[in-house]
Structures are given as structure tokens and as C-alpha cells.
Structure 1
Amino acid sequence: MTLPDLRLTGAQVLTPQGLADQPLALGDGLITDTTPRRDVDLTGFLLLPGIVDMHGDAFEKHLAPRRGAMKDLDQGLIATEAELAANGITTATLAQFYSWEGGMRGAEFAGRVFDALSQVRPRLVTDLRAQLRFETPMLDAYEDVRKVVATHDISYVVFNDHLPHEALAKGKRPPRLTGQALRIGRNPEKHLEYMQALYAGMDQVPAALDALCADLAGRGVLMGSHDDHTADDRATWRARGVRLSEFPETLDAAEAAHGAGDAVVLGAPNTVRGGSHKGNVSATDLIVMSYCNALASDYHYPSLRRAALQLADSGLLDLAGAWGLISSGPARVLGLSDRGELCPGKRADLVVLDAETRSICATLSGGRISYLSGEAARRFIG
């Protein structure tokens, strides 16, 4: 639903300087400084910039609610948008694997997801984008990745390596191998042979990565590394033009990224939990040290709003700074200068919160309603 030109009055508006009692005008999908035709009284509500999610894979449960139920991907993406909108997310990046793990993380499925996204995007209100998560040991897939990026105009690639190196180096069967293989319909022994072959070719990976990163940089693709563990890891990626560190596992890696001017993206669930579920460095600690440019939903969309409010409530950051980690911060990292703040000329991407309960009552993306409920719905609709 596209709204007519409106002026939202009575609410507290989050500006870069903090909350302010001022009207907010919307017109032609943008925030304006003109006087629209109609006022909407939102006394008792907060108006905040729409949430920009840089990396989320919670959409997987909508694409495959049960094992093998992966046929109607367009309907899964529509259901994903509903969850995103209900959580105040106006720009969402779907983090899709391109992995040796197969199944929903395999190359064939990634192509299907990107095709479905292209088809369904015109029907959506939320700005839905794609991130390709490439597993670097897949030497035979490097040329295919180049083609996928070009075909689907993917502007964001992250490099992963989830191969169980320690077990393979010792000649052992990796944990969970049998269950993983059966889940994707692959013979466990064949799956093990495939993993062993990937491990045997690891000495060729650095050169292949050098060439691929150079090609992607030439296309203007944003590139990130995943789970950096050491300062040397970060330096190696930086030398390839990979200037984003996604979920660094240690203080050393995050400190090295920040010190070199690389963007650091941390997990909102880590922030809400107060620590990593894998025992890695605490996102909250890194935020306090100013080593964080943006928070991402990772596996849980509601954690973005919760993390920002928790940081503000604890006094670690003011509300503008905390909310900036889920709005203006990720927008800057993604190169989206048209959103992230409630300023004239920016996209009308905003979230309406109940000032008392701070529950999400409305979400607008580009001036169009993606979510609306309760008293806020009555005020808007009249």
C-alpha cells in the first residue's frame, strides 16, 4: 500500500542527534521538507529509521519448512518479507550459501533462490537483496561463481570456509558427517570422499582466490570475509581487496580490521545473548570498544531491534548511536547513501514503535506500508 503525501505529527522522531519532538513529512516515497496534504497524529509513538540488515539466513525456514519441501520458493520469499516487515526491517540481505554442503546450501539451490528473488522482487515492498556466501575450498566452482555473480547482478560476496580441516588433517571422519550427507541425499562415504578431495586441493585455493577477488573488485562487488580468527587472516583478505570483516571470532581480528579502516559486522543475536554461542569474542565488548560498524540479524530477525534497544537501555550507547548500528551503519557499509536516517531527501524507510512497549506497530519502506497493526493502523487509515 502506497501512502499519499503525509505529515506524521505528535511522535518523537529519532534524528542523528537523538529523539526530537518534530513532525516528519513523507512524499513520493521520500522524507520531505514540504507540507503534505494530510496529517496523521502519532502521539504516543516513536519514529525511527528503517532497519537495514546486512546478513540474515533466517529466511531458510520459509524456503524449506520441512525437509524436501523446497518447491515454491517465491511463496517462501513472500513469507520471509512478512517476517522482515513485522520486525522493522526495510532493507534485507539474504545470505545464501554456495557450498559443498549441498541441499539448501548447494550451488543448484542458490541459483534457484536468485531466480526466484528476481521474479518476486517487483511484488515486494521490502528492498530484498542477495549476498552470495561462497565456500572457498570448491576449486571447481570458481568460474561458476563468476557467472552467477554476473547473471544475477550480485553486488555482495562473502567468503567462507567451513570445511572440517582438523578432522580431515588427522584422517578422521568429521563429526555429523553421516547426518549431513543423508540430509542432502548423498551417500556418506561419497560425501567424505568429496570433503577429502577438497581438503587435498587447499594449496591451490589462495591463488584461485587472488584471481577471483580481483575479478569481483573490477565489477565493483562488495566483498567480505567470514569468521576471521587472527590479525593475519584479516591482512590476507585485505590484500585481496576484501575490506569487510563479517563476525570476526577474536578481539585481535576485529582490532586489526578496525585499525586498517575495514568495516566490521557483528551478530545481533550475540549482542542480545551477551556473548557468542560458539564461545567467540563478545559482540557487546567489541561495540564498547567502537570496533563495530553494523549489526546483522544472522539467524534471528527480531534480534536487530532488541540489540539496539538493549544497548541504549544499558547506557553503553545513546539511542541514536545504538539504532545507527542497525540503520545508518549498515547502509553506509552497503553503499546505500539514500537511507538509514530520517532526513529530507532520504527514502521514507521508517519504523513506528509504541513509545511505552516499544513493540513494532508499523513499517514503511520507500513510503509504502509493509506492516501495520493495532492503534497505529487506526491512526494511519483513519
Structure 2
Amino acid sequence: MSEQILTHARLVLDDEVISGSLVIRDGLIADIDTAPSQLPPAIDCDNDYLLPGLVELHTDNMEKYFQPRPKVAWPGRQAALAHDAQMAASGITTVFDAVSIGDVHKDSMRHLALHEMCAAIGDIVADGLARVDHRLHLRCEVSQPETLQRFQDLADLPLLGLVSLMDHAPGQRQFASFEAYRTYYQGKYGLNDAELEVFVAEQLANSARYSAQYRQAIAAECHKRGLALASHDDATLEHVAESREYGTRVAEFPTTSEAAEASHRAGMAVMMGAPNVVRGGSHSGNIAAAALVERGVLDILSSDYYPAALLDAVFRIAQMEGGYTLPQAVATASRQPAEAVGLNDRGRLASGLRADLLRVRLVDDHPMVQRVWSQGRQVH
């Protein structure tokens, strides 16, 4: 029987923070006690916080390791392991690695490396090399011609647990502003004005032709397989109603307070990006996450493109005026994302659950990761 004792810790429970001890036995949380342990093997946490390991539902961080520079492809296993190490160092013990199907540019890394990224994550998990628990999140760009077929090719991957439906065509959702769309894609792909006009026309035509039928078809396939479904960038009440019709569990990055509040009322877990919290607003000019915290409708935080932002944002929303309590803030990055995708064996400090744990010390009000355990095994 493998046992570890963590003592003199501030344990962040569901509704309160207590000082005490926690026992890990055979990869599970065996006991929680308010008394300090006097046993010699006990690890003294020096009054640091002990949190449940963070649960990340949407990060495209892995892409940076597969293409560290434009036109530079990195070997798959090495890229996946480097990404895995960063997840552990950021306190993320369950991660849904987001890979995109149907990118708007046929020569993009997302398009070309899709199968390699899925295979590399599957390999490091199967070989016991991963530090943390990896799952897959398929981001389906429903406005692209090849999306449905590519989804069907990947829909039975063993690690798949979440599917999101996206449409990044101009004039709606994330890019309601044509000017913001022009600025983003001209900068990303180096298009001149004439090339951009052709690009915009093509994206609008594809959206009109494919988006509605692909949303319906992919949602139906997800329900048959028991896969959690997420919307993406809902902006209007009509978008929210459509997401409800498809049985959506997670509302990813709603762009307006109207859509966020309606999604929350409808029982969908509203997800916002942790970088939005850390930076003080959306880089696309959409609703600020802090505004949704004040309204009490932010349910899940995601690190999105910057893993270290997740823990930072948790403590920021616990410190802001009109924000959440620390247990409520921690739940947005642990219990609530886990529950949204049906993982009820983690995300809380409670007896019988996975010993996915995070020891955190505040230094000048900034959370610093001290140690991380994944299923009782120290991984950082």
C-alpha cells in the first residue's frame, strides 16, 4: 500500500478553506483531517494552499510544440512530451488537448499536423510516459468542406471526450466586426487587400453552404457516442437557442453578456479564457471575463493559449472586488470543468477521489506552483 501524508496545508474544499492534513493512498485521497500530522514521513506544506489539480478543457498550447516556428515541424513524440511537461508545471492534471478540424487555410499547421498530434498524444499515454491525464478535444470548423469527413475519421479515438462546433466566418460570432476580421487574417497570413477580398468571399460562401448541415450532423454523431458537446463564440440569443437544441453542455467563450447569461440560465457551463482575466479583457474586443464574474455567470476557466494563465486567473477572480470566494474560483478550474464532461472522479478534495493535487504558495499575491501530484504520483 502506497501512502503519503501532506500536513500543515490550507486545504481548499468545496465551500471553505481549512488548515489540516490530507492522506494519499494508492493514487486516491484517503482522508482529510483538520489536525496536523506528527508522523515522521509527513510532508510539511508550510501553510501553502493545497488545491485539486486543474482541469483544462480547451487549450491549443500543443500546437506551439509541433510548430515552434513557421514552417518548422517538430518530431511528434518530443513535441507531445514537452507540452505534457508544461501542463504539469502549470498545475494542470487533466487536459483536453484541442486540435482543429477544417482550418480556414489549407496549408496551415493545424490542417497538416492534425493526425500526427492525435497520434502523438495517444502514444505517450499508451506508453505510460505522460505526466498528466490527456484527453482529446476536436474543434470542428463547421464552415469548411472537409470537416464532416475528418470528424468521422477521428470520432472513435479512445481519448476523445469533447467536441466543439465553430464557425469563424466574418460578420458574426467572434468576428462580428469585419475590420477585426481583416486585421487578424491579414496579419496571420500576410494577405494583400485583393487576396483578402477573395479569402472573405470564400469563407462566407463556405459558411452558407456547410455550417448548418455540419453542426446538425456532428452533434448527432456526438450524442450517439456519448461525447460532450460545446458551442463556440455564441453571440446572440438565437445562437444560444441553437446550442440548447443540440444538447450542448459547455458554452465556450460567448462574446456578449447576453449570450453568456442566457447560456448560464439554460444550464450550459459558461467557459471564458484565463488570459482574458489576466490581461483585463478580450484581445478581440468581446466581453471581459471579469464582467461575467461580477454577474456570477462564469462557470469554467480555460488557459486557452497560455497554460500558466489558468492558476493565475483563479486567484485573480478570488481577489477582485465583487469576485468569487477562493473555493468558488478554484471550482471554475477543477470541479466544474470535470463535471461538465462527466469526469466525476476528480476536481475536488474529497475522500475516494483521484489524488490530483496542486500545492501553491502566494508570493506577492501571485500563485507559485510548488508541487503537483497526478493520481498520487508527484509529477512536478
TM bin (shorter chain): 0.7 to 0.9
Measure, in 2, the Cα distance between the counterparts of 1:367 and 1:103: 42
Measure, in 2, the Cα distance between the counterparts of 1:359 and 1:83: 14
Alpha-carbon distance, 1:60 to partner: 2.1
Could you say which residue in structure 1 is the equivalent of 2:337? 330
Could you say which residue in structure 2 is the equivalent of 1:350? 357
SS of 1:159 mapped into structure 2: strand
8 Å contact kept, 1:149–1:155:
no
Cα deviation, 1:226-273, whole Å, max 9, x if unaligned, reads 111111111112212223210000011111111111111111111122
Alpha-carbon distance, 1:197 to partner: 4.6
Amino acid corresponding to residue 113 of structure 1 in structure 2: M
Cα deviation, 1:331-353, whole Å, max 9, x if unaligned, reads 11121101111111011011112
Query: Which residue of the other structure, out of 361, 364, 368, is the alignment partner of 1:359?
Result: 368
Alpha-carbon distance, 1:77 to partner: 1.4
Alpha-carbon distance, 1:22 to partner: 1.6
Could you say which residue in structure 1 is the equivalent of 2:287? 281
Cα deviation, 1:26-51, whole Å, max 9, x if unaligned, reads 01111003999932222232211111
Cα deviation, 1:331-376, whole Å, max 9, x if unaligned, reads 11121101111111011011112255541110111111111xxxxx
Alpha-carbon distance, 1:305 to partner: 1.1
Query: Which residue of the other structure, out of 20, 24, 27, is the alignment partner of 1:26?
Result: 24
The yes-or-no answer on 1:45 pairing with 2:48 is yes
Could you say which residue in structure 2 is the equivalent of 1:252? 258
8 Å contact kept, 1:139–1:208:
no
Amino acid corresponding to residue 25 of structure 1 in structure 2: V
Query: Which residue of the other structure, out of 119, 124, 136, is the alignment partner of 1:120?
Result: 124
Could you say which residue in structure 2 is the equivalent of 1:211? 217
Could you say which residue in structure 2 is the equivalent of 1:140? 146
Alpha-carbon distance, 1:327 to partner: 1.0
8 Å contact kept, 2:10–2:48:
yes
Comparing 314-323 with 197-206, greater Cα deviation is found at 197-206
Amino acid corresponding to residue 322 of structure 1 in structure 2: A
Change (3 A) 1:190 1:310: closer
Alpha-carbon distance, 1:225 to partner: 1.3
Could you say which residue in structure 1 is the equivalent of 2:115? 111
Measure, in 2, the Cα distance between the counterparts of 1:198 and 1:368: 47
Alpha-carbon distance, 1:6 to partner: 1.1
Measure, in 1, the Cα distance between the counterparts of 2:63 and 2:224: 31
Change (3 A) 1:234 1:367: same
State the Cα RMSD in Å. Answer: 2.9
Change (3 A) 1:369 1:178: same
SS of 1:235 mapped into structure 2: helix
Q: TM-score, normalised by structure 2?
A: 0.86
8 Å contact kept, 2:4–2:23:
yes
Measure, in 1, the Cα distance between the counterparts of 2:325 and 2:171: 42
Change (3 A) 1:181 1:321: closer
Amino acid corresponding to residue 118 of structure 1 in structure 2: G
Identity, in percent, stands at 30
Q: TM-score, normalised by structure 1?
A: 0.86
Cα deviation, 1:167-202, whole Å, max 9, x if unaligned, reads 9xx9xx95566765579xxxx999986764553241
The yes-or-no answer on 1:369 pairing with 2:351 is no
Alpha-carbon distance, 1:23 to partner: 1.0
SS of 1:309 mapped into structure 2: helix
8 Å contact kept, 2:372–2:378:
yes
Alpha-carbon distance, 1:143 to partner: 2.3
Could you say which residue in structure 1 is the equivalent of 2:84? 81
Cα deviation, 1:80-113, whole Å, max 9, x if unaligned, reads 1221111111111212111132445544411110
Cα deviation, 1:48-97, whole Å, max 9, x if unaligned, reads 11111111122222221122222312111111122111111111121211
Amino acid corresponding to residue 373 of structure 2 in structure 1: L
Measure, in 2, the Cα distance between the counterparts of 1:126 and 1:164: 37
Could you say which residue in structure 2 is the equivalent of 1:272? 278
Alpha-carbon distance, 1:314 to partner: 2.4
Q: What is the aligned length?
A: 362
Comparing 52-61 with 19-28, greater Cα deviation is found at 52-61
Amino acid corresponding to residue 304 of structure 2 in structure 1: D
Q: Report 1:287-306 matches (<5 A).
A: 287-306=293-312
Comparing 11-20 with 227-236, greater Cα deviation is found at 11-20
Measure, in 1, the Cα distance between the counterparts of 2:235 and 2:255: 5
Measure, in 1, the Cα distance between the counterparts of 2:61 and 2:157: 25
Measure, in 2, the Cα distance between the counterparts of 1:344 and 1:250: 39
Cα deviation, 1:118-143, whole Å, max 9, x if unaligned, reads 11122112112211111111233312
Amino acid corresponding to residue 54 of structure 1 in structure 2: L
8 Å contact kept, 1:44–1:355:
no
Measure, in 2, the Cα distance between the counterparts of 1:255 and 1:21: 36
Measure, in 1, the Cα distance between the counterparts of 2:317 and 2:333: 12
8 Å contact kept, 1:254–1:291:
yes
Which structure 1 residue ranges, 5 or more long, are not aligned?
A: 372-382
Alpha-carbon distance, 1:323 to partner: 1.0
Query: Which residue of the other structure, out of 230, 233, 248, is the alignment partner of 1:227?
Result: 233
The yes-or-no answer on 1:66 pairing with 2:69 is yes
Amino acid corresponding to residue 348 of structure 1 in structure 2: A
The yes-or-no answer on 1:340 pairing with 2:344 is no
8 Å contact kept, 1:352–1:360:
yes
SS of 1:33 mapped into structure 2: strand
Measure, in 1, the Cα distance between the counterparts of 2:195 and 2:153: 27
Measure, in 2, the Cα distance between the counterparts of 1:204 and 1:137: 5
Measure, in 2, the Cα distance between the counterparts of 1:206 and 1:18: 45
Measure, in 2, the Cα distance between the counterparts of 1:76 and 1:285: 36
8 Å contact kept, 1:214–1:241:
no
8 Å contact kept, 1:100–1:106:
no
8 Å contact kept, 2:65–2:74:
no
Could you say which residue in structure 2 is the equivalent of 1:380? none
